[in-house]
Amino acid sequence: MKFYTEDGNWDLVGNNLAVFFIRDAIKFPDVIHALKPDPVTFEQQPRRIFDFMSQTPESLHMLVNLFSPRGIPADYRHMQGFGVNTYKWVNAEGETKLVKYHWMPKQGVRSMTEEDAANIQADGLGHATKDLYEAVARGDHPEWELLVQMMDDHDHPELDFDPLDDTKVWPEQDFRRRPWAAWCSTGCRTTTSPRTSRSPSAPVSSSTDWTSPTTRCSSAGPSPTATPSATGSAPTTSSCRSMRPSTPRCAPTSATGR
């Protein structure tokens, strides 16, 4: 999800599952090599995948989710989104909160079985993009709600897990999900060059008010530190005021979610 703000752009990258395979970022190249197809036969080899996973105990949570009914989303319109990593919010007074992001489709969550996925792929690829395009074209605009979980930014000896561990989730009964924004796909792009190929994703176009992640962050990749309000209300600093959508529902955007 790309946020276009007055001070620059900021990307929130996530996954359709709330956790990841590893907690130590130094293992990221290894997990990618384990999951990639064989460079000679271009076949994914379960032996190689599970050889790595069996030596990475923290991957069990992700594997359970991956092989559960939630593992294969039916399409983009019925897919959840998660920031996975733990982020930090900072308000104008310098107060900080740890944050988890959750995108929830208001159309409901749907998944496919392995047999369903095989049947769909037998007829053609890109079914999820096609489904999204056709839904928007007929006026059935999908909508997602962005919710956040927040936690005080200090040590938590009362917890039996590390809040920065991206192989864990925060219990919702202890850290409730709070509505923060909404997003609605209201249009289909007709050209790709101005909106995609030339989208200013270079660091020079990024906001100067979002810094690099702190050393405490447990992530599988670079995760910028955002600066909305620590209370979950509208950001209190002008540098990030436009990060929150100006309208709470159906802010116009493209059908690709960027």
* Percent of the chain whose predicted confidence (pLDDT) is above 90: 50
pLDDT tens-digit map of 203-233: 666 665 544 343 333 333 333 334 444 344 4
Given a cut of 70, whether residue 194 has pLDDT beyond it is no
Given a cut of 90, whether residue 110 has pLDDT beyond it is yes
Predicted pLDDT at 81: 92
3-state SS, residue 35 = helix
Q: What is the mean pLDDT of residues 167-189?
A: 86
pLDDT tens-digit map of 14-24: 899 999 999 99
- Determine the Cα angle at 233 with ends 6 and 208, to 5°: 30
Residues 6+ away with beta carbon under 8 Å from 213: 219, 222, 223, 224, 225
Pull the structure tokens for residue 111. 């998944």
Q: Are 226 and 29 in contact (CB under 8 A)?
A: no
Minimal CA–CA distance to 224: which of 242, 240, 245? 240
Would you list the DSSP string of 201-234?
A: -SGGGB-TTSBPPPTT---SS---B----TTSSS
In this prediction, residue 184 has a pLDDT band, given cuts at 50, 70 and 90, of: confident
Q: Are 182 and 249 in contact (CB under 8 A)?
A: yes
Predicted pLDDT at 250: 40
Given a cut of 70, whether residue 144 has pLDDT beyond it is yes
In this prediction, residue 239 has a pLDDT band, given cuts at 50, 70 and 90, of: very low
- For residue 177, what are the CA distances in angstroms to 38, 102, 196? 41, 8, 32
In this prediction, residue 252 has a pLDDT band, given cuts at 50, 70 and 90, of: very low
User: For domain 2-19+76-243, which architecture applies?
Assistant: Beta Barrel (2.40)
Residue ranges per domain, the chain?
2-19+76-243
